[in-house]
């Protein structure tokens, strides 16, 4: 038996914040546009860089996650912040007519654009009419 008191290790403030943000992520606003070729999603994710962005898809779900990197000048600390979370998450259910193998994503000036084409066999096609 030891005479030393045992203390439970407390998670650091950064760890506690990360856990809290994962539980309460920001839901980025999105525009969903559809045309004959597929759908395009545009999401506002200001402050998220390409290396802190995750876009994952399976046959029925599109998951978008991103983390804002806020850099403070050396020696400065934020005393107040209006945004409590720096973690974005949005999930979309995809229809079977979309080709998730050919998704393309681009980010520019805080706007993520995700293009999901329709499967080729489901796209409208023009049929030539012959005169006989």
Band (pLDDT 50/70/90 cuts) for residue 76 is: confident
Residue/partner pairs of 47-54 with CB below 8 Å, 24 or more apart: 47/86, 47/110, 48/88, 48/107, 48/110, 48/112, 49/107, 50/107, 53/107, 53/112
With a threshold of 0.85, does the pTM exceed it?
A: no
* Per-residue confidence band for 126, with pLDDT thresholds at 50, 70 and 90: confident
Q: Which of 96, 116, 97, 98 has its CA nearest to residue 55?
A: 116
Rounded (5°) CA angle 55-57-62: 75
Q: Indicate the domain borders of the chain.
A: 27-70+85-122
* 8 A C-beta contact, residue 90 and residue 64: yes
Predicted pLDDT at 79: 79
What residues form DSSP beta bridges with 118? Answer: 98
User: Tokens 């943000």 — which residue?
Assistant: 21
Q: Which of 59-68, 81-90, 93-102 has the lowest mean pLDDT?
A: 81-90
Q: Which residues pair with 41 in a beta bridge?
A: 32, 114
pLDDT bin (cut points 50, 70, 90) of residue 6 is very low
For the segment 13-26, the average pLDDT, to the nearest whole number, is 64
Q: CA 11, 15, 17, 20 torsion: positive or negative?
A: negative
Q: How far apart are CA 64 and CA 108, in angstroms?
A: 16
* pLDDT score for 14: 58
pLDDT category of residue 1 using cuts at 50, 70 and 90: very low
CATH-assigned architecture of domain 27-70+85-122: Sandwich (2.60)
């Amino acid at each position: 038996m030891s005479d030393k008191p045992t203390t439970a290790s407390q998670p650091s403030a950064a760890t506690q914040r990360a856990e809290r943000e994962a539980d309460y992520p920001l839901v980025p606003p999105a525009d969903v546009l559809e045309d004959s070729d597929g759908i395009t999603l545009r999401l506002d994710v200001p402050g998220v860089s390409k290396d802190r962005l995750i876009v994952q898809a399976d046959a029925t779900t599109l998951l978008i996650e991103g983390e804002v990197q806020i850099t403070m000048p050396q020696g400065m600390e934020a005393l107040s912040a209006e945004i409590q979370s720096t973690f974005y998450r949005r999930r979309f259910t995809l229809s079977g007519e979309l080709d998730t193998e050919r998704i393309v994503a681009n980010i520019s000036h805080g706007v993520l654009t995700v293009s999901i084409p329709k499967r080729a066999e489901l796209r409208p096609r023009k049929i030539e009419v012959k005169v006989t």
